[in-house]
Structure 1
C-alpha cells in the first residue's frame, strides 16, 4: 500500500506544471487587439501532444523565434473576451482528465478556444458537458450563436433544439388533447396540456408547431370533443331531473364546481377548434341545448359566488354565436332564432351581476369579488347577436326587438343598430319588393 502511494506521488511530482519557470522550454504569449498580453511558461512536449496548433508551431518546419535563452516563444492572437478561455484551455492541457464543468457559458468559451488551438480532447470534453448540462433560455441563445460557427462536427450540441419530426408532434398533440378534455386527468396535467396545446397552435413570430391536414387526426379530435359534450349533456340531465325528485341543496358547491369545470373545458375546446376550423360540432350542440344550459345554471348557480361559472357560460356562447354570425356555421332559421333569444335574455341577467361587485366595493365591502370578462368578449357577443338578428325574417326580428325594448335591461345588449336596420327595411319593403307584385299579376 505504501509503495503504491509512493509511486503515485512520484508520478504526480514528475508531471510538468504550467508556469514552472525551472522546467519550461516554451513561452506562450497570448495577445489581444487591445494590446493586452498574457505570458505563460509551458512545456513543448505537453503543448505538442495536446494541441495541433502548437504541434505545428513547434515543429522543425515552422520558423521560430528564440527568446529568453533556450526557450521558444509562440504567439497566440485572440479577442479580449476570449483571453481567459484560452488560458483555461492551456491549463487543461496539463490535466490528466480535462474538466469542462465551468457552466454552460464557460464551457462554450473553452470550446471555442480548444477549437482555435486544435485541442481535440478538450473540445470533446466540452461537447460532452454541453450535451448533458441543463440550459436556460439565455444559454440556448448563446449556444445558437456559437456552435454553428465552429463547424459541422459540433452540431450534435444542437440536437435538443432541432425541429422535431411531424409524427411525434401529432402523437403528442393527440395524447395531450385527450388529457385536456378528460374528466379523469389530474388538474395540473390538464391545465398544462391545455396551455401547451394552445401555444402549439398559436401563430406568433413563429409558425404553429403543427398544421392539420389529416382527416384521421381531425376525426380523433372530434371524438374527444364529442365525449366531452356527451358527458356535459349527461351531467345537465342529472341536474334537471333532480328537482322533480328531490330539490338540490343550495349550499352544495360540488355541482357548481363540476359545472364550472365542464364549461371551462368547452370554452378551451372552442379556442382550439376555431384554429382547426372545426367549430361546427360545438356550435350545433350548444345551440341545441341552450335552454337546458340556462336552466342548469339557474338550478346550480345561486349567489355571487357562481359569477365565474356564469361568465364562462357567456364566454362559450359568445364564441358559438360569433361562429354563426360570421357565416362559418350555417344553421336553420328556427335554431338561430331560438339561440339568439335564449342568450339575449341570459346576457341581460348576467351583466348586472358583473357590475354589482363594483357597486358593493364602492360601499366599502373590501372583500367583494372583482370578476369580469374581457370587454372584447362582451363586445363580440353583442356584435354577434346583432348580426344574427339581422339574418332573421322581419317578423322574427320584430318579436326580438319588441321584447328588448320592453326589457328593463335594454342597455345590454345594445340592439340599436338592428332596430335601425329593421325600421328602414320595414318602411321601404313594399317599394323595394314591388316588382314581385308586378310579376305575380303577370303570371
Structure 2
C-alpha cells in the first residue's frame, strides 16, 4: 500500500492509516527493546538464532523509518528513538557484547544517522531538550565506534561493518547543523566535551565551534556596546 504508485498519496492522507502507523511504530519499538534487552540473557550471543531475531527487529525499524519519512510522521520515530537511546547503549555497550554483534552496533549508528539528519536539517522539529539529548547520547558513541570499526576492517579481511564515507559525511553534517540549532550554553557544553575527546577527528565539529565562537564574541560585543550606551545616556 505504501509503494511508489498512484495510490500512495491517497493512502498517506488517510487518517485511519496514519493512526495505525503510529500505533505500529510504538509496537515495533516495544518489540525491538524487548529483544534487545533479551540479548544479555542469551548464553550464546554468536548463535545464528540470536543474530536473526535482533536483525529482524532492526529491519522493521529501518522499514518503518522509510515509511514515516514519506508520511511526514518521522517526528514520531525521532521521539521514540530518543526515548530509548540510553537503554539501547546500555545493552550494546555491555561487556557481554564487547566483541560480538558488530552488525547490530553499526546498524544502530546508521538508524541514528537518519534521526540526526531529520532533526539537524529541520525536517523534524523537536524541543531543544530532545536535540541536546540526542547529541549527548550518540556523539560519544559514534566517535568511539568509528575508529574501532575502521580498525577491524583493516585487520579482518571482508569485515562488512565499516561505516561508509557517505554515511560518515551525513552524520557529521547533521551533527554540525544540529549543534548550531541549540541554545548557546548547550552548544558550549557539547563542544567542550568534543574538544576533550581523544578522537576529535571524527566527527569534525570545528565548523560548529567556529560559528559558536563568532556568535559568542558578537553577543559580548553587543552587550558591551549596549552597556556603554546606557552609561553615556545616564551621565
- TM-score between the two structures when normalised by the length of structure 1: 0.47
**Are positions 1:267 and 2:62 aligned together?**
yes
8 Å Cα contact 1:267/1:312 also seen in 2: no
The aligned runs of 1:43-442 (5 Å cut-off) are 173=1, 200-201=3-4, 209-211=7-9, 212-236=12-36, 238=38, 249=43, 251=45, 253=47, 254-299=49-94, 301-303=97-99, 305-361=100-156, 366=157, 368-433=158-223
- More contact order relative to length (CA 8 Å, sep ≥ 6): 2
**Are residues 437 and 227 of structure 1, via their aligned partners in 2, closer, same or farther at CA, if it must alter by over 3 Å?**
farther
**Between structures 1 and 2, the one with greater strand share:** 1
Deviations 1:186-222 (A, max 9, x none): xxxxxxxxxxx5xx23xxxxx6552121111111222
Q: Distance in 1 between matches of 2:225 and 2:149?
A: 50
- TM-score between the two structures when normalised by the length of structure 2: 0.84
DSSP 3-state at the match of 2:101: helix
Q: State the shift of 1:314 in Å.
A: 0.8
8 Å Cα contact 1:256/1:301 also seen in 2: no
5+ residue gaps in structure 2?
none
Q: Which residue of 2 aligns with 1:10?
A: none
**Are residues 251 and 270 of structure 1, via their aligned partners in 2, closer, same or farther at CA, if it must alter by over 3 Å?**
closer
Larger radius of gyration: 1
Deviations 1:100-150 (A, max 9, x none): xxxxxxxxxxxxxxxxxxxxxxxxxxxxxxxxxxxxxxxxxxxxxxxxxxx
**Between structures 1 and 2, the one with greater helix share:** 2
Q: State the shift of 1:239 in Å.
A: 5.7
8 Å Cα contact 1:264/1:312 also seen in 2: no
Q: State the shift of 1:268 in Å.
A: 1.9
Q: Distance in 2 between matches of 1:236 and 1:311?
A: 14
Q: State the shift of 1:322 in Å.
A: 1.3
Deviations 1:155-204 (A, max 9, x none): xxxxxxxxxxxxxxxxxx2xxxxxxxxxxxxxxxxxxxxxxx5xx23xxx
Q: State the shift of 1:225 in Å.
A: 1.9
5+ residue gaps in structure 1?
1-172, 174-196, 202-206, 243-247
